[in-house]
């Protein structure tokens, strides 16, 4: 168990914008930051981080919270894992008591897979650096590739002994269970026999974006033609190769800083480029590029530069990945190396300055690259040239941004010496064809009657009728607003212009008299609700309300951040949603369109008064409805009920005048 003192230090030190900035590219937006949601597919930012409140909100998925909840949502950490991750990031020493056997047994399956993978990584590193076979075979291989000791340790490279059960026996001896060794793919189980999957291979651990070991890539060092040169971990609960990029853990900050990501094919390409000084580089690890991998990069940058080997056949086979990148709305450039060279060999034989110069000079926009490649293949054949142009327009059609499509059409017309009108017509045909294939077929029923009361249009069948607007729960919204006010301004002192209701001695009518008083916001709210015996109907808001009143009453230095940190995950999510609701307008640049929302802090007293008055009016409406229903009952005292309704309506008229509203 982690001590409360350590948890408090972590919450006090961790900055939500720094933590999330390791996973999402954040851009300043007023006092906040915004970025693309890491929880859904989107091209317009709906993810907001508030450094002032130390919370975040994802409007596309509805998720929100603090730095810890982000790690729990994004990395699927448990609460203790998130605390430990932050402690490591901020160099905070964790005070922890030893877990009991029962607590260890309660660790879920997923966590067990992580623990086995972490242990395996440490084991392979230990073999590489501290055993004679590891030094003689594994370490020698890495050094022959030109990797320094620092690089080898940075990427946690290792070696698996050329023994059938070397790793498996060691892991079992340390208490790791065979079913977890099998699930991670580290051990192959056949009946009573157990084998090391990566026997006799140098090991490349594959990390998550937060640095956890998910799986491995292993390269064989013998000339065994029956064995695969590279072998990856099989799919598991924690390892999904189509959703992982090798090197992203080490490259994420550099990618965001440089606003560009170099995409290569192999592990050694990443390592060698990084060692030379190009650190914003990742690899698809020999698998076909997937939309999930592109979206991972897109969280950090909107620019990808694909680095291809000089092998023409490999380029032609890999070019399909370019269209996939375009479909995701990401800008893409391509750079090829001279014949016989790849990113590994080229970066090894050139200085950082020479490498940077080559990449800058030879990185072509996708349309220039694709056109030059396909034109060579066409070899002045008119039919092949026409096919080439259509293929280029097909790629342009995948770009979601209309302005970019038009610019690329113009560029294609210039390069291929063809009319823009022809290309735009072809583009329209491709888009229409795609729209038709993706649209849901409709069933039409023509009118069968000449009745003038029947609609003279086609009836769509098998479709849902348009949904009516959802009814607003007024009391829910007002209770939610009270929680928001208490969180943001509960400890502030304001001057309130209140209304005192008195009976006019001459007429007997209720009249209102203004009265000013200075008090703290939470006291004003509490006394007003107590006076009218108004109670919260939402159980979660009710619990939050009394917790806030209690905290504000006891703690003169009330902190929203500290209060949220003490809540359970579900309640913290609710509070975050409440606090971040007003950040929506920042995502759409309302101010640029001359729509200037009034800051709540400019009129806190008015906001409090209007909210309480609105709640009073709403409760009066509910009471009047109750009385009206009473009149429908047998033996109801109708006269008495009418008098009561009249009093309530009169009270509402006074309150409504104060609110500046028309009584309905």
Q: What is the pLDDT of residues 314-357, one digit of tens each?
A: 566 567 778 888 888 899 999 988 888 889 999 999 999 999 99
Domains in the chain, number = 4
Task: Show which of 239, 259, 293 is a domain's final residue.
Answer: 239
pLDDT of residue 41: 77
Instruction: Identify the bridge partners of residue 568 per DSSP, sorted by sequence position.
Output: none
Model confidence pLDDT, tens digit, residues 125-174? 999 999 999 999 999 999 999 999 999 999 999 999 999 999 999 999 99
**455 dihedral zone (left: phi>0; alpha: psi -120 to 50; beta):** beta
Statement: residue 212 has pLDDT above 70: yes
Q: Identify the CA nearest to 159 among candidates 131, 182, 179, 187.
A: 131
Statement: residue 461 has pLDDT above 50: no
The verdict on 286 and 159 lying in the same domain is no
- Please list, in sequence order, all residues whose beta carbon lies within 8 angstroms of the beta carbon of residue 612, skipping any fewer than 6 positions away: 482, 525, 528, 529
pLDDT of residue 139: 95
The verdict on 281 and 349 lying in the same domain is yes
- Please list, in sequence order, all residues whose beta carbon lies within 8 angstroms of the beta carbon of residue 557, skipping any fewer than 6 positions away: none
**116 dihedral zone (left: phi>0; alpha: psi -120 to 50; beta):** alpha
CA distance between the termini of the chain: 58
Task: Show which of 239, 257, 292 is a domain's final residue.
Answer: 239
Model confidence pLDDT, tens digit, residues 267-291? 999 999 999 999 999 998 767 788 8
In a domain, 309, yes or no: yes
Confidence of residue 440 (pLDDT cuts 50, 70, 90): very low
The verdict on 235 and 264 lying in the same domain is no
Provide, for the chain, the percentages of residues in helix, strand and coil under a 3-state DSSP scheme, each rounded to the nearest 5.
50, 15, 35
Q: Which secondary-structure segment (H or E) carries 209?
A: none
The verdict on 359 and 415 lying in the same domain is yes
Residue 263 — φ and ψ, nearest 5°? -110, 120
The verdict on 31 and 131 lying in the same domain is no
In a domain, 314, yes or no: yes
Instruction: Identify the bridge partners of residue 501 per DSSP, sorted by sequence position.
Output: 512
Helix axes 420-438, 402-416, angle to 10 degrees: 130
pLDDT of residue 318: 62
Statement: residue 663 has pLDDT above 70: no
The verdict on 223 and 267 lying in the same domain is no
Q: Please give the residue range of the domain that contains residue 365.
A: 248-435
Instruction: Identify the bridge partners of residue 511 per DSSP, sorted by sequence position.
Output: 502
In a domain, 138, yes or no: yes
The verdict on 271 and 312 lying in the same domain is yes
Query: Can you list the positions of beta strands (E) in 530-663?
Result: none
DSSP assignment letter at 466: P
User: For the whole model, what pTM was predicted?
Assistant: 0.65
CATH number at residue 387: 3.40.1360.10
- Please list, in sequence order, all residues whose beta carbon lies within 8 angstroms of the beta carbon of residue 516, skipping any fewer than 6 positions away: 495, 496, 497, 498
Confidence of residue 445 (pLDDT cuts 50, 70, 90): very low
Task: Show which of 215, 239, 263 is a domain's final residue.
Answer: 239
The verdict on 291 and 204 lying in the same domain is no
Q: What is the mean pLDDT of the chain?
A: 80
The verdict on 232 and 253 lying in the same domain is no
pLDDT of residue 578: 84
Q: Identify the CA nearest to 123 among candidates 77, 73, 169.
A: 169
């Amino acid at each position: 168990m982690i001590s409360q003192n350590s948890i408090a230090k972590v919450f006090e030190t961790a900055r939500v914008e720094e933590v999330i900035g390791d996973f999402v590219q954040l851009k300043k937006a007023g006092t906040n930051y915004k970025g693309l949601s890491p929880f859904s597919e989107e091209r317009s930012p709906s993810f907001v981080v508030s450094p002032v409140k130390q919370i975040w909100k994802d409007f596309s998925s509805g998720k929100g919270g603090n730095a810890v909840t982000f790690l729990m949502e994004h990395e699927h950490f448990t609460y203790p894992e998130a605390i430990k991750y932050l402690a490591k990031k901020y160099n905070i020493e964790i005070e922890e008591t030893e877990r009991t056997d029962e607590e260890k047994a309660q660790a879920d399956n997923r966590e067990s897979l992580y623990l086995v993978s972490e242990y395996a990584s440490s084991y392979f590193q230990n073999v590489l650096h501290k055993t004679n076979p590891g030094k003689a075979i594994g370490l020698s291989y890495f050094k022959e590739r030109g990797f320094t000791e620092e690089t080898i340790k940075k990427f946690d490279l290792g070696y698996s002994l050329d023994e059938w059960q070397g790793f498996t026996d060691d892991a079992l001896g340390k208490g790791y269970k065979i079913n977890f060794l099998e699930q991670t793919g580290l051990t192959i189980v056949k009946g009573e026999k157990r084998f090391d999957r990566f026997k006799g291979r140098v090991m490349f651990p594959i990390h998550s974006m937060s640095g956890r070991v998910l799986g491995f890539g292993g390269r064989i060092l013998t000339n065994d033609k029956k064995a695969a040169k590279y072998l990856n971990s099989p799919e598991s609960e924690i390892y999904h190769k189509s959703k992982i990029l090798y090197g992203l853990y080490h490259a994420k900050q550099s990618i965001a800083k440089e606003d560009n990501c170099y995409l290569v094919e192999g592990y050694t390409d990443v390592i060698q480029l990084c060692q030379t000084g190009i650190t914003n580089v990742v690899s698809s690890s020999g698998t076909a590029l997937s939309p999930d991998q592109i979206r991972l990069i897109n969280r950090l940058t909107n620019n990808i530069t694909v680095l291809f080997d000089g092998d023409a056949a490999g380029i032609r086979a890999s070019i399909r990945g370019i269209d996939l990148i375009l479909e995701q709305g990401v800008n893409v450039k391509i750079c090829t190396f001279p014949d016989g060279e790849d990113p590994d060999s080229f970066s090894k034989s050139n200085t950082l300055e020479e490498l940077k110069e080559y990449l800058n000079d030879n990185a072509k926009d996708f349309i220039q690259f694709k056109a030059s490649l396909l034109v060579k293949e066409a070899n002045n054949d008119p039919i092949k040239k026409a096919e080439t142009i259509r293929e280029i327009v097909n790629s342009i059609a995948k770009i979601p941004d209309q302005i970019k499509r038009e610019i690329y059409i113009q560029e294609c017309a210039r390069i291929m010496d063809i009319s823009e009108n022809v290309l735009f017509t072809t583009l329209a045909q491709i888009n229409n064809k795609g729209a038709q294939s993706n649209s849901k077929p409709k069933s039409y029923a023509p009118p069968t009657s000449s009745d003038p009361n029947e609609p003279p249009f086609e009836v769509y069948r098998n479709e849902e009728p348009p949904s009516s607007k959802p009814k607003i729960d007024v009391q829910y919204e007002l209770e939610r607003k009270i929680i928001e006010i208490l969180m943001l301004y509960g400890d502030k002192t304001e001057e309130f212009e209140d209304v005192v209701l008195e009976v006019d001695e001459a007429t007997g009518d209720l009249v209102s008299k203004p009265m000013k008083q200075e008090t703290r916001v939470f006291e004003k709210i509490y006394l007003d609700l107590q006076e009218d015996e108004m109670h919260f109907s939402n159980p979660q808001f009710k619990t939050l309300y009394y917790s806030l009143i209690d905290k504000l009453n006891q703690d003169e230095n009330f902190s929203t951040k500290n209060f949220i940190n003490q809540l359970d995950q579900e309640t913290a999510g609710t509070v975050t949603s409440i606090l971040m609701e007003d950040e929506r307008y920042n995502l759409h640049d309302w101010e640029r369109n001359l729509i200037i929302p009034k800051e709540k802090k400019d009129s806190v007293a008015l906001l409090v008064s209007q909210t309480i008055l609105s709640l009073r009016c709403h409760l009066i409406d509910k009471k009047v409805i109750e009385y009206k229903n009473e009149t429908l009952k047998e033996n109801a005292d109708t006269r008495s009920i009418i008098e009561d309704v009249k009093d309530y309506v009169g009270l509402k008229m006074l309150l409504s005048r104060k609110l500046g509203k028309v009584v309905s």
